Amino acid sequence: MKKLLNLSLLITSLIGYLEWPNNHGFLFQIEYQLLSGTVGTDGILHPFVMLPLIGQLLLVISLFQKTPSRFLTLLGMTCLSLIMLFLFLIGCMSLNYKITLASLPFIITGIFVNRANKKHVATTGL
């Protein structure tokens, strides 16, 4: 169950939608452009870019563990939440339904992940 939730977090983080004047795209498209070098890589070291990438990497690592680490899951989700919650806020403030709706699956999945980890803490005491 935890692996499925981590995979869901990873997938829903990739469908975040960004839109700015004269350009738009999903997060996976923008990440591909940054990592492949087709766009200037000046901003790749910005914390707002690096933290979500680190979060995705942590979730990928947790998928290869026999039992996904609670710490890696929550840390990865926290890193990804930086951009996804910001996108949700921007979508709500600008009344852009595309941005808002694209970030909602990640937020909903994050709620399920938190509940699953709280159940784990309540039953094991860890």
pLDDT reported for residue 50 = 80
SS3 69: coil
Helix axes 70-94, 2-14, angle to 10 degrees: 30
Neighbouring CB atoms inside 10 A of 116's CB total 15
Based on the number of CB atoms within 10 Å of its own CB, is 43 exposed (0-12), middle (13-18) or buried (19 or more)?
exposed
Q: What are phi and psi of 38, to 5 degrees?
A: -75, -15
**Alpha helices (runs of H) in 15-69, residue ranges in sequence order:** 27-36, 47-63
**In the chain, how long is the greatest CA-to-CA distance?**
52
Digits of tens for pLDDT over the chain (126 positions)?
888 888 888 899 888 888 777 777 788 877 777 777 766 656 566 666 788 888 999 999 999 988 888 888 899 999 999 889 998 999 999 998 888 999 999 999 999 988 888 766 655 555
pLDDT in the model for residue 44: 61
Indicate the residue type of 24: H
Indicate the domain borders of the chain: 2-124
pLDDT attached to residue 41: 58
> Which among 123, 91, 124 is positioned nearest to 107, based on CA atoms?
91
Spatial CA neighbour of 114 closest among 53, 83, 73, 55: 73
Please state the pTM of the whole predicted model. 0.79
